[in-house]
Homo-oligomer: A and B are copies of this chain.
Amino acid sequence: MNNETAIKNRIANWAKAIIKRDWDGFLAWHHADFVMYDVVPPFQSVGLDAYRQTFVIFLETLQPGDHSFQVVDLQITAGDDVAFAFSPMKCRYFDKKEQRIIDLDFRLTIGLKKIDGEWWFIHEHHSVTA
**Interface, chain A (partner B; CB < 8 A):** 35, 37-44, 75, 77-84, 86, 88, 105, 107, 109, 111, 113, 122-123, 125, 127-130
Contact = CB atoms under 8 A, between A and B. Distances in A.
A30 to B, nearest CB: 14
Name the residue among A40, A75, A79, A113 with the largest chain B CB count within 10 angstroms.
Answer: A79
B75 A39 contact: no
B77 A129 contact: no
For this chain, the copies found in one complex come to 2
Contacts of A83: 82, 84
16 contacts: A37-B86, A40-B130, A77-B82, A77-B113, A77-B123, A79-B81, A80-B80, A82-B84, A84-B122, A86-B111, A86-B123, A107-B127, A109-B111, A127-B128, A127-B130, A128-B130
Given A77-B122, A105-B43, A111 B130 contact: no
Given A80-B80, A109-B125, 6 more contacts: A37-B107, A38-B129, A43-B107, A43-B129, A77-B122, A80-B81
B109 A109 contact: yes
Given A86-B111, A107-B125, A130 B79 contact: no
